[in-house]
Amino acid sequence: MLWAGRSAVEIATAVRRGDVTATTVVEEHLHAISERDSKVGAFRRIRERAVEEAQAVQKRRDLADLPLAGVPVAIKDNLEVAGEATRGGSAVTADAPAPEDHVTVARLRAAGAVVVGLTNLPELGLVALGDSAYGIVRNPWNPARTAGGSSAGSAAAVAAGMVPLALGNDGMGSLRIPAACCGVLAVKPGTGLVPPPTDRWDGLTENGPLATTASDLALALSVLAADPALAESWRGGRRIEPRPPMLRSVWADDDEIWEPQPPQDSPEPFDLRVAYAPQPLPVGLPVDREFQAAVRGAAETLRQAGHTVVEHRAKLPAWLGPATIATWLTRAAASADGLDRRRLERRTRGLARAGRVLGALKLDGVRGRERWSGYGADQWFGDADVLITPALATVPPKAERWGERGFVRNALANIRYAPATGPWNMCGWPAITVPLATHSTALPIGVQIVAPPGGEPHLLGLAAQLQAAHPPVRPPGFAF
């Protein structure tokens, strides 16, 4: 049986039961990476030592209790993995190996996952594109298009079936944008749920998982958050405390253990007030009509699932866009601070220079961020439980060496195609991207669903219902 291409839930269940070993699973995924990554460029480093680490997982005394037993995972190369250099998409950063895992990586390993590789991102994770000194991450649906960014390699690796789960982070959409580009799921948790990366971008950035199924995404998020009640939240949009293991019955024979019936694989009905906004962007930022139609399609699917659905007609405040852009650029300047500017990419130098100028003029977006997070987001959101918007405004740009281009071309490319995600970093609210349809260009279309703080279970439950109506598919040439 081929295990590459299976879900994390399937793999972990099989390893716990003894149907397959963690070693076999990891070896098959390393083989899939060797066959597929030349078309995509998702990985900066492939970890052959993962086989030894899988063997160690197989020998663990608590194997039967590990939620991610033997599951191969890919880690974005701006999160520390013990014994590996953390390059952050740059040739300028230090090449010394990290002395210990980032806490999110440590949690994945403690749950039984095996790190098979480090994934590519643009230099310092500053843009929604996938090119760096280590190559260009290409979209598995169309290699002429970018996989998005900045968690480009993580999204492409999941979409191409090289891993069932990947870890990335999101400072202005860096999980949701590449997930939408590549047709996979990703969730940006709300502030405080999951430990953030070392470079927190002043609290804007959150670590989160990417996957192909809502059940995998919920399981990974539960591990990252150290909250087991999130693992099954996809079933009914609420936290579900895990049931204690069943004890052997005093009436059973030696080989018999009474167990309840396994839960159904389909999501359960629940009722939320769902708002949808096909075009929430201010004047001057158009949204592709097919992307708008996908938002309406998602709303209709959820209406048929039993939710109360209303249209949200208000545009995002005109002042929020400039504040978001200013915040992005000033954080770019802070990320580049201390590195040799002469060796940085032209794009990075331009973004950082713009950020320094804005900072010197006190146009750093701080007031806009405080206004939006303090009361603006809540007032604009209204009385809905969740809000559906486009994840992108148009199809991803071409997969080219954008890092060799200047500030203006990169800034315009990012703002034109991916302006819908940043506002929710500005206020720290959770948001998820769910693939829903296929564009006339044969690229996937994703929708973004946003919830107020604490709404991650709602997002996971809605993602499961959308997937039940619109089952996920692999890109052409990457099926198993």
pLDDT at 257: 45
pLDDT of residue 262: 52
- Sheet with 72-76: strands ordered across: 43-46, 114-119, 72-76, 165-170, 206-211, 185-188, 431-438, 444-450, 386-390, 273-276, 308-311
Residue 265's pLDDT is what?
A: 73
Band of residue 244 on the pLDDT scale cut at 50, 70, 90: confident
Other CB atoms within 10 A of residue 453 CB: 14
> Which two structure tokens, joined as six digits, stand for 466?
């959308």
Mean pLDDT score, 89-118: 98
CB 229 within 8 A of CB 456: no
Whether pLDDT at 138 is above 50 = yes
User: What is the pLDDT, as a whole number, of residue 243?
Assistant: 79
39's tokens: 């078309």
Q: What is the pLDDT of residue 382?
A: 96
132 assigned to active site: no
The tokens of 89 are what? 């998409």
Peptide bond into 150 cis (omega under 30): yes
Bridge partners (DSSP) of residue 275 are 310, 387
The pLDDT, as a whole number, for residue 104 is: 98
For 269-311, the pLDDT digits (tens) are 999 999 999 999 999 999 999 999 999 999 999 999 999 999 9
Distance CA 129, CA 150 (A): 6
CA pair distance 73, 105, nearest whole angstrom? 10
The whole-angstrom separation of Cα 164 and Cα 130 is 20
Please tell me whether residue 238 adopts helix, strand or coil conformation.
coil
Q: Which residues share a beta bridge with 118?
A: 45, 75
> Tell me, what's the pLDDT at 258?
46
What local confidence, expressed as pLDDT, does residue 246 receive? 60
pLDDT tens per residue across span 438-456: 999 999 999 999 999 999 9
Q: How many CB atoms lie within 10 A of CB 82?
A: 14
| Stretch 214-218: mean pLDDT | 98
Amino acid making up residue 110 = A
H-type alpha helices, 176-319: 176-182, 214-224, 289-304
Query: CB neighbours of 267 closer than 8 A, spacing ≥ 6?
Result: 214, 234, 235, 236, 461, 464, 465, 468
Task: Report how far apart the first and last C-alpha atoms of the chain are (Å, whole number).
Answer: 11
pLDDT at 254 over 80: no
User: What is the spatial distance between Cα 50 and Cα 42, in angstroms, rounded to a whole number?
Assistant: 17
Measured from the Cβ of residue 457, the count of other Cβ atoms closer than 10 Å reads 24
59 catalytic per annotation: no
CA angle 114, 77, 402 (to 5 degrees): 140
At 164-192, the pLDDT tens digits run 999 999 999 999 999 999 999 999 999 99
Environment class of residue 11 by beta-carbon count within 10 Å: exposed (0-12), middle (13-18) or buried (19+)?
buried
Are 9 and 219 in contact by the 8 Å Cβ rule? The answer is yes
User: How far lies 382's CA from each of 317, 318, 376, 459, in Å?
Assistant: 14, 18, 10, 17
Q: By mean pLDDT, which of 14-18, 150-154, 239-243, 465-469 is the weakest?
A: 239-243
Q: Which of 189, 256, 221, 115 is nearest to 431 (CA)?
A: 189
Cβ atoms < 10 Å from Cβ of 246: 10
User: Which parts of 305-338 fold into alpha helices (H)?
Assistant: 320-336
Quote the mean pLDDT of the chain.
Answer: 95
Residue type, 46: I
> For residue 439, what pLDDT is reported?
98
Tokens read off for 189: 């948790």
d(CA 140, CA 357): 38
Specify the residue for token string 């300047």: 333
Catalytic residue from among 7, 174, 215, 373: 174
Crossing angle for the helix pair 214-224 and 8-17, to the nearest 10 degrees: 70
pLDDT confidence of residue 430: 98
What is the C-alpha separation between 371 and 480, in angstroms, rounded?
A: 49
Q: Is 150 a catalytic residue?
A: yes
CA of 65: how far to CAs of 69, 111, 254, in Å? 8, 9, 22
* Whether residue 152 has pLDDT greater than 60: yes
Annotated catalytic residue within 76, 151, 154, 215: 76
Task: Enter the DSSP assignment of 93.
Answer: S
Instruction: Give the separation between CA 369 and CA 426, rounded to whole angstroms.
Output: 6
**Which distant-in-sequence residues (6+ apart) come within 8 Å of 337 by Cβ?**
352
Reading the block at residue 168, the tokens are 């990335």
Query: With the C-alpha atoms ordered 324, 325, 326, 329, is the resulting torsion angle positive or negative?
Result: positive
Helix axes 346-360, 320-336, angle to 10 degrees: 120
Burial of 479 (0-12, 13-18, 19+ CB in 10 A): exposed
**pLDDT at 27 exceeding the cut of 70:** yes
CB-based contact 452:373 (threshold 8 Å): no
Q: Which of 7, 90, 150, 151 is catalytic?
A: 150
> Is residue 221 within 8 Å of 187, Cβ to Cβ?
yes
Question: Residues 37-43: what's their mean pLDDT?
Answer: 98
* CB neighbourhood size of 51 (10 A): 17
Q: What is the mean pLDDT of residues 21-42?
A: 98
